[in-house]
């Protein structure tokens, strides 16, 4: 259904009404907060000020009375504004995730699809890739998505994977009038990967780990660490596909089984992935028969943030269609991998 006219029909016939219901919540909360704010200002600001002037006013203290009244009212207004602050940003977050849930369901045709904004992929799933398992490796994540496509489970999530590198710093300090220089070692966070994770099952048995790493990694420190890591964990496999070899270095401990998985048709399909999304990819075939793809620079959070706003506008359809189109590409990648032989 990656067709704008079909999607427009769906939007016009059904989804516009659904969005209306989502956004009504914003209007309702805003109106309620305004009423509460007006009522609170009357009770805690206007009435106390009137009573204060009636019972305590003295002409000789006019300036003091004015100053106290102004300070008091400013304080009350700020307090009430904070107390009944506009929750639009929080509500728009909920709306974004509802829209994401709707689009995932539409693309995958899975009514049981789950979108869990505050969850990440499991540590077990991450560690089985053995891709970034360097010293002091850390990862965070969000927007965990689970759905079915062609009777296979598909897992997606945003991920930020990082490590720490050591760096020497120098600083001057004084003891009395004497100046000294000291050096010390500190750790600096280095991002290895920021993007999305896709995991599903391949259509054949596999009991070895195959890792396909992009040939060009920008950060030299991380590049050297990864290369040293793979020298220990496996050895490089040379395959008969020049286009693939320009993009990836393939590591495995079993060349024969690797070639059984990375057949000529499979390698051609992997090359096709760049036609769908050009971003740098790490591709892992796990020993349990699943695969994982790490796509750099694409996250569900960014897709939603750049296309949805608090206020609705005449470009709403185009914005939601862009979300649909971006996510559809991720499922296209799954479809290509699931049907490769």
Residues 323 and 304 sit within 8 Å (Cβ to Cβ): yes
Pairwise pLDDT comparison (14 vs 277), residue with the higher score: 277
Is 157's pLDDT higher than 90?
Answer: yes
Residue 181 belongs to a domain: no
Mean pLDDT over each residue of the chain, to the nearest integer: 84
Considering the chain, what percentage of its residues have pLDDT values greater than 90? Answer: 30
42 and 160 housed in the same domain: no
116 and 55 housed in the same domain: no
Domain boundary among 61, 83, 105: 83
Domain boundary among 18, 53, 83: 83
Q: Which residues contact 166 (CB under 8 A, 6 or more apart)?
A: 185, 186, 187, 188
pLDDT-based confidence at 341, cuts 50/70/90? low
72 and 94 housed in the same domain: no
Instruction: Find tokens 């990694």 and name the residue.
Output: 217
Considering the chain, what percentage of its residues have pLDDT values greater than 70? Answer: 89
Rounded average pLDDT over 25-45:
77
* SS3 category, 216: coil
What letter does residue 207 receive in the DSSP assignment? -
Residue 67 belongs to a domain: yes
Count of structural domains within the chain: 2
pLDDT digits (tens, 9 = 90+) for 48-89: 888 888 888 777 778 888 888 888 888 888 887 777 666 667
300 and 240 housed in the same domain: yes
Radius of gyration of the chain from its Cα atoms, rounded to whole angstroms: 29
329 and 207 housed in the same domain: yes
Angle between helices 264-276 and 316-338 (to 10 degrees): 170
Boundaries of domain holding 62: 4-83
Tell me the pTM: 0.77
pLDDT-based confidence at 283, cuts 50/70/90? very high
pLDDT at residue 183 in the model = 81
pLDDT at residue 134 in the model = 59
pLDDT-based confidence at 269, cuts 50/70/90? very high
Domain boundary among 49, 83, 117: 83
pLDDT digits (tens, 9 = 90+) for 245-261: 999 988 888 899 999 99
Residue 49 belongs to a domain: yes
How far is residue 310 CA from its own chain's centroid? 19
39 and 149 housed in the same domain: no
76 and 97 housed in the same domain: no
* SS3 category, 4: helix
Q: CA-CA distance, 137 to 125, in Å (whole number)?
A: 15
61 and 132 housed in the same domain: no
330 and 228 housed in the same domain: yes
Residue 304 belongs to a domain: yes
Residue 127, both tokens: 């560690």
Pairwise pLDDT comparison (62 vs 242), residue with the higher score: 242
Is 160's pLDDT higher than 80?
Answer: yes
Pairwise pLDDT comparison (175 vs 297), residue with the higher score: 297
Residues 341 and 207 sit within 8 Å (Cβ to Cβ): no
pLDDT digits (tens, 9 = 90+) for 318-329: 889 999 999 999
Rounded average pLDDT over 203-221:
77
Q: CA-CA distance, 34 to 40, in Å (whole number)?
A: 10
pLDDT at residue 163 in the model = 81
């Amino acid at each position: 259904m990656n067709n704008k006219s079909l999607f427009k029909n769906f939007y016009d016939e059904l989804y516009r009404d659904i969005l209306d219901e989502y956004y009504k919540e914003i209007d309702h909360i805003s109106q309620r907060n305004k009423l509460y704010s007006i009522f609170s200002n009357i009770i805690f600001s206007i009435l106390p000020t009137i009573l204060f002037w009636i019972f305590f006013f003295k002409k000789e203290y006019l300036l003091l009375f004015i100053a106290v009244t102004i300070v008091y009212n400013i304080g009350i207004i700020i307090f009430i504004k904070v107390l009944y602050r506009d929750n639009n940003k929080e509500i728009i977050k909920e709306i974004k995730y509802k829209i994401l849930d709707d689009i995932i369901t539409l693309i995958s045709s899975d009514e049981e699809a789950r979108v869990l904004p505050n969850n990440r992929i499991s540590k077990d799933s991450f560690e089985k890739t053995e891709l970034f398992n360097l010293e002091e490796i850390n990862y965070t994540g969000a927007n965990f998505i689970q759905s079915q496509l062609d009777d296979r489970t598909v897992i997606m999530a945003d991920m930020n994977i990082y490590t720490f590198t050591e760096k020497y710093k120098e600083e001057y300090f004084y003891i009395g009038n004497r100046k000294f220089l000291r050096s010390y070692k500190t750790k600096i966070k280095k991002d290895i990967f920021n993007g999305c994770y896709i995991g599903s099952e391949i259509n054949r048995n596999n009991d070895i780990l195959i890792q396909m790493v992009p040939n060009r990694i920008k950060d030299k420190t991380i590049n050297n660490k990864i290369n040293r890591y793979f020298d220990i964990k496996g050895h490089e496999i040379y395959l008969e596909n020049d286009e693939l070899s320009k993009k990836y270095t393939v590591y495995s401990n079993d060349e024969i089984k690797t070639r059984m998985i990375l057949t000529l048709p499979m390698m051609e399909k992997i090359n096709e992935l760049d036609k769908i999304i050009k971003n740098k990819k790490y591709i892992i075939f796990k020993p349990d028969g699943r695969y994982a793809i790490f796509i750099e620079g694409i996250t569900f959070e960014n897709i939603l943030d750049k296309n949805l706003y608090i206020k609705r506008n005449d470009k709403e359809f185009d914005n939601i269609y862009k979300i649909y189109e971006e996510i559809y590409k991720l499922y296209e990648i799954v479809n290509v991998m699931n049907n490769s032989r």
